Structure 1
Amino acid sequence: MTGTNGSRRPARAVRAAHSAVVAALLTTALAISLAAGCTTGREPPTDDGRTASVKPSPSGTGPTAVAGPVLAVKIDNAPDARPQTGLDSADIVYAEQVEGGLSRLMAVYASKLPAAVGPVRSARESDLELLRQFHEPVLAFSGAQGKLLPLIDRAPLDAVTPGDATGAYYRGTDRAAPHNLFLRPGRLLASAPGAAALTTGFRYGAAPAGGTAAPSLTVRYPAARFTFTWSAGRARWLVSTDGAPTVTADGQRVAPATVVVQYVKVRASGFHDFLGNNTPYTETVGAGKARVLRDGRAYDVHWERPAAGAGTEFTTDDGSPVDFAQGQVWVVFAQAP
């Protein structure tokens, strides 16, 4: 596929993932049953998302996920872009600061693909470092600053804009551009790769000892804020953005099981928007402090990501790993004090 600027490379990771699924179907005893549940990338996605294709495990004890690329989507978080679509289906939601002190989201999908996601917006330089933890992820975005495009082309990911896959994107009619561009994930991936593709370094299990009761926590950017309020009834953190409940287009409250406030260095990058505002660069490789929210409690922990190709480890003061609660994870990058 070729984009409007002629420099976009083919979506090779998408085709490779599709080929791997087809090969698995032809070589396993599950071929007939799996073929009945698989669809091509040209068919519209189902309303309840897609599950990962399976193959026999090496030990023969049961099926394991066929790992393919995760889908990362840059999602608009300006007031005119809310409510968003498909945000509650993401395995991980990253929140970062962008120009003017506003916020933008990147949602990562592996366990299932929703019927639609959006509004889709442009990529930032920080995304390239953050996405290196995954194996050739598919990045869906609306475009990028002209000088950034060559860096995106050289990055080990599969960049897919509306010019690369016109049938995968559409314009909604209930809001004005640029807040009305949406993606049909089923047009990019034949199926969800499964949780095994989430090579983030995150661990899941019992809560660590200690912590303090935390009914709510607010993270502030210069011109945006997120508040996470614990709901004992749902055993989830209810998200609010700029003081209003964060809900999806179908009225579902966004409610992750774990929230990570990761304190990082946010510095100026070499890029600017069309108004001349500098684009912040969020450094996600390194080490620092973080606050993990789970089960109604807050834990002050350490984070470390030694290289861009590695995931992030979270540990307590004594070096013990910190486990997250099962379910969606939000990671909010905040300026280190």
Structure 2
Amino acid sequence: MAVVDRGGRRATNTAVVAVLAVLAVLVAGLLFARHGGTDRTSNAPGRSTPPAATPSASPVPSATPLGERSPFTGLPQDRPRPVLAVKIDNVGPARPQTGIDRADLVYVEQVEAGLTRILAVFSSSPSHLPDRVGPVRSARESDLELLRQFGRPALAFSGAQTRLLPVIAAAPLHDVSPGHAGRAYTRDGSRPAPHNLYASPARLLAAAPDASASRDIGFRFGPAPSGGTAATTRTVRFPSASVGLRWSAEQRRWLVSFDGGPATATGSGRLGAPTVVIQYVTVRASRYHDRWGSVSPYSETVGSGEAEVLRDGAAYRAHWSRPDADRGTRFTTGQGDPMTFAPGQVWIVLAPRPS
């Protein structure tokens, strides 16, 4: 083959190859000088290509950064997720409940007649949310104070006392009750009313696209602190109800009982959590009452007091402090150090403060 220049003269391939070779040497020299003689692929000085048969070692994985862990459970999360709170029935005809096992946080609080009700808080990836949750029941005034630490979460509830409805409407939350998110709710014909209202968490969140994402509410997770005492059982008594707790070394969690019977969830079996907090609070009469005239209790979660934290088969005396409603609750040991929880679901039993 030959190359033809403008004057029609022919040049041989040999001459062209020679010129190209000189240019290649000059370019290689310039690149070598610019990068200081180090190849960025192999990190070996002066080497232009990595060893053909030696794969590079994988980096040692580091602990998940705090920003990539749920502030509610201490477990890894891809990003903060919107917060959904659901008020759930907890009397005999409402059991077993549905979806509680998928909650991040489970609050147990006193209601009328000395019974208890549950506030389940969800803030996980869509794949972890239950298909439905319930039975959904009515809200209470103390729920509003408890929820302010989450920003403006979505709150699912079946209704409320008439005079309380304007207070809920003015509270910093997204109302996703049936009147605002009717398509999220269904009735279960196999159960008697009012213990048969269920909701879809996905549809509830779709009705509250601006719900606040999970944020720090004061919980800390990590190895157990020193100073705990061995414990396998605890019972929290309300005027007409009880919450039993039993440590399962095999399952590494505290199994829950309600009113002397095992607490279960449909489709998943026994309820339990790696960490249970018994938070002693003042329970006083609120300004509201139910249709039968029973005054609604108000559990005060702003202030300070004593607590007992159960984890890893041990009980820890702790102190809780929440200076104002817009801030989370800080738990500390008797020595004033942060009280650490075991990663996973956390139950908080708002127990009446001993008189």
Task: Please tell me the TM-score bracket, short chain as reference.
Answer: 0.7 to 0.9
Higher relative contact order (CA 8 A, sep 6+): 1
Residue 129 (structure 2) pairs with residue 113 (structure 1):
yes
Shift of residue 189, structure 1, vs aligned partner: 2.1
Say if 1:192 and 1:80 are closer, same or farther in 2 by CA, change over 3 A: farther
Q: What is residue 100 of structure 1 aligned with on the other side?
A: 113
| Aligned amino acid, residue 89 of structure 2 | D
RMSD value, Cα: 2.1
Does the CA-based 8 Å contact 1:109-1:192 persist in structure 2? no
| 321, 327, 341: which one aligns with 1:324 | 341
| Aligned amino acid, residue 187 of structure 1 | R
Does the CA-based 8 Å contact 1:262-1:332 persist in structure 2? yes
Shift of residue 162, structure 1, vs aligned partner: 1.0
Residue identity over aligned pairs, in percent, reads: 59
The secondary structure found in structure 2 opposite 1:100 is helix
Q: What is the correspondence of 1:199-218 to structure 2 with a 5 Å cutoff?
A: 199-218=216-235
Q: What is residue 82 of structure 1 aligned with on the other side?
A: 95
* Alpha-carbon displacement from aligned partner over 1:156-189 (angstroms, at most 9, x marks no partner): 0001111211110000121100000000011122
Does the CA-based 8 Å contact 1:86-1:118 persist in structure 2? yes
CA distance in 1, matches of 2:129, 2:269: 16
Say if 1:214 and 1:93 are closer, same or farther in 2 by CA, change over 3 A: same
The secondary structure found in structure 2 opposite 1:167 is helix
Shift of residue 192, structure 1, vs aligned partner: 11
Shift of residue 238, structure 1, vs aligned partner: 0.5
Residue 151 (structure 2) pairs with residue 151 (structure 1):
no
Residue 281 (structure 2) pairs with residue 268 (structure 1):
no
Q: What is residue 186 of structure 2 aligned with on the other side?
A: 170
CA distance in 1, matches of 2:323, 2:199: 33
Q: What is the correspondence of 1:39-54 to structure 2 with a 5 Å cutoff?
A: none
Does the CA-based 8 Å contact 1:101-1:222 persist in structure 2? yes
| 235, 250, 259: which one aligns with 1:242 | 259
Equivalenced residues, count: 276
Q: What is residue 205 of structure 2 aligned with on the other side?
A: 189
Shift of residue 235, structure 1, vs aligned partner: 0.2
| Aligned amino acid, residue 147 of structure 1 | R
Shift of residue 221, structure 1, vs aligned partner: 0.3
* Alpha-carbon displacement from aligned partner over 1:217-262 (angstroms, at most 9, x marks no partner): 0000011000010000000000000111001112421111100000
Does the CA-based 8 Å contact 1:69-1:136 persist in structure 2? no
Q: What is residue 327 of structure 2 aligned with on the other side?
A: 310
CA distance in 2, matches of 1:297, 1:192: 41
Residue 157 (structure 2) pairs with residue 141 (structure 1):
yes
TM-score (norm 2): 0.75
CA distance in 2, matches of 1:139, 1:176: 24
Q: Show structure 2 runs of 5+ residues with no match.
A: 1-67, 69-75
TM-score (norm 1): 0.79
* Alpha-carbon displacement from aligned partner over 1:172-220 (angstroms, at most 9, x marks no partner): 1211000000000111225999x97043211110101011111110000
The secondary structure found in structure 1 opposite 2:273 is coil
CA distance in 1, matches of 2:185, 2:171: 22
Does the CA-based 8 Å contact 1:70-1:192 persist in structure 2? no
| Aligned amino acid, residue 284 of structure 1 | T
CA distance in 1, matches of 2:349, 2:215: 18
Say if 1:328 and 1:185 are closer, same or farther in 2 by CA, change over 3 A: same
Residue 142 (structure 2) pairs with residue 129 (structure 1):
no
| Aligned amino acid, residue 148 of structure 1 | L
Q: What is residue 42 of structure 1 aligned with on the other side?
A: none
Does the CA-based 8 Å contact 2:156-2:177 persist in structure 1? yes
Does the CA-based 8 Å contact 1:132-1:156 persist in structure 2? yes
Say if 1:68 and 1:156 are closer, same or farther in 2 by CA, change over 3 A: farther
Q: Which moved more, 1:196-205 or 1:243-252?
A: 196-205
Does the CA-based 8 Å contact 2:156-2:204 persist in structure 1? no
The secondary structure found in structure 2 opposite 1:132 is helix
Does the CA-based 8 Å contact 2:304-2:321 persist in structure 1? yes
* Bigger radius of gyration: 2
CA distance in 2, matches of 1:268, 1:176: 29
Residue 69 (structure 2) pairs with residue 73 (structure 1):
no
* Alpha-carbon displacement from aligned partner over 1:280-312 (angstroms, at most 9, x marks no partner): 000000000000000000001100001101000
The secondary structure found in structure 2 opposite 1:287 is strand
| Aligned amino acid, residue 308 of structure 2 | R
| Aligned amino acid, residue 188 of structure 2 | G
Q: What is residue 5 of structure 1 aligned with on the other side?
A: none
